[in-house]
Structure 1
């Protein structure tokens, strides 16, 4: 008998992500009414905003009709339209809860959210039973499915009606036992720009697990009109965009301006469409150049952007686009040092070769090592931290470029007084090519990153290890 008047409540189960929902059903002599899926109310209680794209109905006229156990690569919202069913769910995802079981009965006043990879099965307890399920992907023969035998001894499901007495399809009878089940892998993580400095650090942070995919412009063209079909995007959970145009001064030329906008704006817009349409988390790496550097304090994530040059303008535009993706992290960083040509290696080389450099001393900020960025990105995605914008640099006191050059000289055993500090204007006074304006203050406030638990390395200590 359907229970009327229950409040809308959500209850977790022993299977991570499998959530039971009690639904208010309003009834009288005419029948009953319920809101089967009400996005605003249900997501406010913690149910995922899973973005259904298809609504299916299954009807069974006989008591005891039994289906399953099927695990699909999409999320499902299952509820009963009429009648009553016994449901059994088995976690068939890779991980520590593989094989965990949960059972309950469903009637029109109770629904369940079944996350991707959790096997589901149903046995009708009344005649003329119909149940519905919303799914957030379309069926595809190329999708990865997994199955478990209804009579598996390890699952030991307490079927109300013995399986020997019920209607089961021949196909369901042949499903494998738990020991032979192929687990559903995690949703894939795609790292774009994987051969750059940050991309190489992300390779080290994420490793070579089968669900991690690395690509660059030679294998994935973000400007291609076929991008929407270049992958089965519903299999991806996260896209990390480590690709960018970073030639700050060249961006001030006609060709550089075009290339910067193509990579930093057009490419991000294409990824934003893919991520939004497929429920993917987009991780977008930004820059201190979105600010003009006129503040006398560190910049917070909520300070308005005010870029000075073309590069900064394209990064600010890319940030605005990335922020429209429902699931996103924007990582603002500064003065990046990684595996490749960079300021630190240049200063170490000059010191070794006996060259005494003139270095800008009126721009201040913090170095950021690519390994710190990669570690921070993985921390945010692994912990499902609150989404939004995060400043992420190495920690420690802000310094000028000249201060850092002197540190490099000292740490490599050379006299730091060989470094002469000069103003930005003096340094570029003889330049023949266009020079982009630089923010004088590139120091980013790290409070939000610390509160999220991101491990922040002291810049001086990391510099010491880097040079060693």
Structure 2
């Protein structure tokens, strides 16, 4: 079989999700041939995942009929032929609906194929002196052997039509002993780690991912962001993403000497540790930020608005955004006025109403509530749909209101009178009190969140549902 020269670099999808067959331009003359076997810029532009290879392996096979596989390793592979020709067979051995899908093709030096983690790889040489090459994005280690998944070359379910019958081919005893499909344990998906899993958002994320074995939760007791051991004593190769639900949120206390140190430690230094880990291990980092990164001088804050924090808390959240933003695969979810399980403004107002107290509530700070159930669902949506990386504003939708408006809504819905709530300015409310500066306008532009296809729930509807659920608990 003669080698086809000067193909156009192109990719072809296959029946196995994530497996892509590539045509490679090979340039030849009377001396031989030359090709760019791996060219990151061109191939990434074509859609090949930027899988960051770290090791190059070559399998040399002296005789035609040499057959190896079917092996699924816990890393991605970019496979090509250096010399000779092979018949390749690939079987999806990952957990999920495509488990057992098969793709076969003949490869010569003008082709290459990308094989994601967990897809079984096998080949049979069709010519003597064939060299089969692998670029892989993890270093081989003895420890990794236990994470392999294997399938027998003769499995009747996969039913690979080997050009040279297996009883006439050269196989290793190990490959002959691999299990049939019915006995294969599928390779599990990489895990998502949620840190700060005991706070308001962490509890909502636990509910969002309830029953999903691929999501792991760690509160401070299981993963202390301030301890170096938390990052060292974990096999990050088994993870795809970290969701940072941890935060220092004591806005006023952050202005004190002790609070300032704590705010910077949790909102910045810990984020830097997470970002470093994400970069080193090619993980997606989801980081939650706040409307406090703005000074509140604009009516509708967009994602690209310059950061203008007023107080220490806002400054640490802005710094945290800057740190998280260096991770190539990052989602910064910027939210406001968070309401979830635990102490919050809505619960406080409902309690005051139940006790007949008539509060004074600020009426010159405006924004929208963000319910943690929706923040959690949006984070899941970004990860599941693989939305474009970057910063996303997120709150619940609906009319922009003041804190006094929302307090009046709560009073009305729990059976008290709206007029029990008195509106006062921020300056009046905090007169003679030690308090951090606050943005007066916190409404976030939600166009980008909507553009991902996520159904952003109305804040008023969520408030009604929240108060009903609270009442049902009582």
- TM-score normalised by the shorter chain: which range applies? over 0.9
What SS is found at the alignment partner of 1:440?
coil
Q: Does residue 357 in structure 1 map to residue 367 in structure 2?
A: no
Distance 1:256 1:119 in 2: 53
Cα distance per residue 1:104-128 (max 9 Å; x no partner)? 0111110000001100001111111
Distance 2:328 2:12 in 1: 25
The offset of 1:227, in angstroms, is 4.4
Alignment of 1:7-406 (within 5 A): 7-143=8-144, 144-295=147-298, 297-406=299-408
Distance 2:379 2:265 in 1: 24
What SS is found at the alignment partner of 1:269?
helix
1:194 and 1:215 in contact (8 A); partners too = yes
The offset of 1:21, in angstroms, is 0.7
Residues 227/34 of structure 1: CA separation in 2 closer, same or farther (3 Å cut): farther
1:191 and 1:240 in contact (8 A); partners too = yes
Aligned to 1:412: 414
Q: Does residue 465 in structure 1 map to residue 468 in structure 2?
A: no
Distance 1:227 1:337 in 2: 29
Where does structure 1 lack aligned partners over 5 or more consecutive residues? Answer: none
More displaced 10-residue stretch of structure 1: 328-337 or 213-222? 213-222
The offset of 1:139, in angstroms, is 2.1
The offset of 1:142, in angstroms, is 3.7
What SS is found at the alignment partner of 1:226?
helix
Cα distance per residue 1:444-468 (max 9 Å; x no partner)? 0000111101121110110001000
1:234 and 1:279 in contact (8 A); partners too = no
More displaced 10-residue stretch of structure 1: 136-145 or 23-32? 136-145
Give TM-score, length-normalised by structure 2: 0.97
The offset of 1:3, in angstroms, is 1.2
Distance 2:53 2:219 in 1: 31
Distance 1:461 1:186 in 2: 36
Aligned length: 465
Q: CA RMSD in A?
A: 1.0
The offset of 1:80, in angstroms, is 0.8
Distance 2:90 2:198 in 1: 42
Distance 2:21 2:66 in 1: 22
The offset of 1:291, in angstroms, is 0.5
More displaced 10-residue stretch of structure 1: 24-33 or 134-143? 134-143
Distance 1:145 1:357 in 2: 63
Cα distance per residue 1:236-285 (max 9 Å; x no partner)? 01110000111111111111111111111111111111111111111110
Distance 2:143 2:315 in 1: 41
Distance 1:229 1:142 in 2: 16
Aligned to 2:438: 438
The offset of 1:223, in angstroms, is 2.9
Cα distance per residue 1:399-446 (max 9 Å; x no partner)? 000000000000001011010100111101131xx3111000000000
Distance 1:381 1:56 in 2: 32
Aligned to 1:448: 448
The offset of 1:376, in angstroms, is 0.4
1:202 and 1:371 in contact (8 A); partners too = yes
Cα distance per residue 1:353-409 (max 9 Å; x no partner)? 011101000000000000000010111111111111111100000100000000000
Q: Does residue 5 in structure 1 map to residue 16 in structure 2?
A: no
The offset of 1:212, in angstroms, is 1.2
Where does structure 2 lack aligned partners over 5 or more consecutive residues? Answer: 469-474
What SS is found at the alignment partner of 2:12?
strand
What SS is found at the alignment partner of 1:33?
strand
Cα distance per residue 1:290-333 (max 9 Å; x no partner)? 000001x3111111111111111111111111111111111000
